Each structure stands twice: as C-alpha cells, then as structure tokens.
Amino acid sequence: MSDAAQPTAAEVRAAAEAVKTALDRHLAAVERRSGEDDPAVSEAFNQLAAAAEVYDELLYDRYDEVTPFEIPGAEDSLPPYAGPDEPNAISVLIRRDYTVAEPQRLLAQAQRIEAAEYDDDEAARSVPGALGILFGEFEADEIASRHKEFGLEEGDSTLWVTAAEEPAEAGEWLEAPFEHFDPQQVVCRFDVSAVFDDEAPDLEDDDIDFVEDGPEGPGTLARGHRADGGGDDADGDDELEPLDIRK
C-alpha cells in the first residue's frame, strides 16, 4: 500500500473507539436479552463484528499489526434449526465467485462453441456474451471443474442445503429464487475459500459426522466437508473451513 493510501493515526483511533462503543452495546444487549434468539443481541453482535473488522484492517494498514480477536463468521451465527425432522424436500443454494482472469481465452472458447452450435456470430465478441454462451452450454459443476480452460479463476464458494415439508410447485419461485430463504431451515452448509488455507486442518472423510438423533433434528450434519468429497481443489489452492453446523 502506498503512503498516500494509508489511514491516518486519527482514523485508527476512531475505529478503536467504535469497537469500544460496539462492545458496550453488545454487553448491554446481552444483559437485556429476552430469550435465546433475541434479535437485539444478534444485531449488536453483527455491529461489533463489523467494527472490529474495520479496526483490524486499519490497524494493519497503518502499523502492520493485528488484533488477537477472531470474530465468528455467518456460519457460526445461524439460528437454531427449526425445519422438519423428516423433510420431504430440500433446496440447494449455491454461490460460486470467479475472476475473469483471461478474457481472450474466455472469448476464444465461446467463439468455438458458437461456431459449432449457433447461427449468431455476434454474442461471443463480448465478455457478457461469451459468459452467456459458456453457462448455456455447460453445467455449473463442469465449469467449476474446468474453470481454467475458460479463462476463469476461482474465488470463494458456498453451498447451503435447506429443508422443507413439501416440494415447491413448478415455477413457484422463479421470479425471485432467493427471496424466501429462511435461515432456520438450513440443514448444513459448505464453504470453500483461500482464507482458510492457513487455519483449516486437513479433513478426511471420517471427519464428517452425522447426528442421527441429535437435539437439532435427525440426520443433521455436525461438520462440514467439501461436496465433492475432497479437502482441496485440483490445484490444492482452497480448503474447506471446518464447521460445527449443528451442535
């Protein structure tokens, strides 16, 4: 980082004061909590986490120092499972981030597909058009396994499994597919990120524990694991963060 971009000492001090204020608010909310899932406590927790993250970043940028605190992420703050004990349907919510690392490779692959499959020769001349061709031709899992061929670089990804009493009607949620998500219906989640490289232990298949009759419902996942059964991607770049999903 250049000197011009560094935060000032006053900005770091202000961020520290914000953490102190957020800490007091969190304690006050805990002292007044009305139940196990008091929304005021959750809000104060999130505010404290955000303030601590800002302070940690400014402290590092200004002084090359870090705090000893680690704020649990969203995977540790899911509400208790309140879905059916024996769900008749599940929904799988997936997010995968990519960087378009080699646009020319992406365009070349799309143009090859377009020449063989389509009459229109204009779509593959832009990155959005090439992406439309690519994701229209291949399943998302195949793109994930062949991303380098398409000039893409993997970023973070997450997969959430939610439970339901009954399957949705055909076309019921297509207009707003992510609008009706209920965190209390989450059975398990799997996260992959390079940020876990230095902190996550290697996980073997034996590390996946299913709670057959646990307090949060039968068959819930006690620890997360990559959906493909491996701990790393093909290049060993990313590891799954071990998660105690349903304790």
pLDDT at res. 230: 37
Residue 42: exposure state from Cβ atoms within 10 A (0-12, 13-18, ≥19)? middle
- The yes-or-no verdict on residue 183 having pLDDT over 60 is yes
pLDDT at res. 196: 73
- Sorted by where each begins, the domain ranges of the chain are 3-71, 79-95+156-247, 102-150
At 5, the amino acid letter reads A
Could you tell me the pLDDT band of residue 227, with boundaries at 50, 70 and 90? very low
Could you tell me the pLDDT band of residue 236, with boundaries at 50, 70 and 90? very low
pLDDT at res. 215: 36
pLDDT at res. 72: 59
pLDDT at res. 190: 86
pLDDT at res. 189: 85
142-168 pLDDT per residue, tens:
999 999 999 999 999 999 999 998 998
99-143 pLDDT per residue, tens:
999 999 999 999 898 888 766 666 678 999 999 999 999 999 999
pLDDT at res. 213: 36
* Mean pLDDT computed over 184-211: 64
Say if residues 194 and 200 touch (Cβ distance below 8 Å).
Answer: no
pLDDT at res. 4: 52
* Average pLDDT score, the chain: 77
Residues paired with residue 92 on neighbouring β-strands, in sequence order = 161
CA distance 150 to 110: 8
* Mean pLDDT computed over 197-205: 52
pLDDT at res. 195: 77
pLDDT at res. 104: 94
User: Which is more confidently placed, 198 or 243?
Assistant: 198
Q: Which H, E and C letters describe 25-50, residue by residue?
A: HHHHHHHCCCCCCCHHHHHHHHHHHH
1-49 pLDDT per residue, tens:
445 578 999 999 999 999 999 999 999 999 999 887 788 888 898 899 8
pLDDT at res. 120: 60
Percent of the chain with pLDDT over 70: 71
* Mean pLDDT computed over 69-95: 77
pLDDT at res. 38: 85
Measuring CA to CA, which residue among 152, 155, 145 is closest to residue 102? Answer: 152
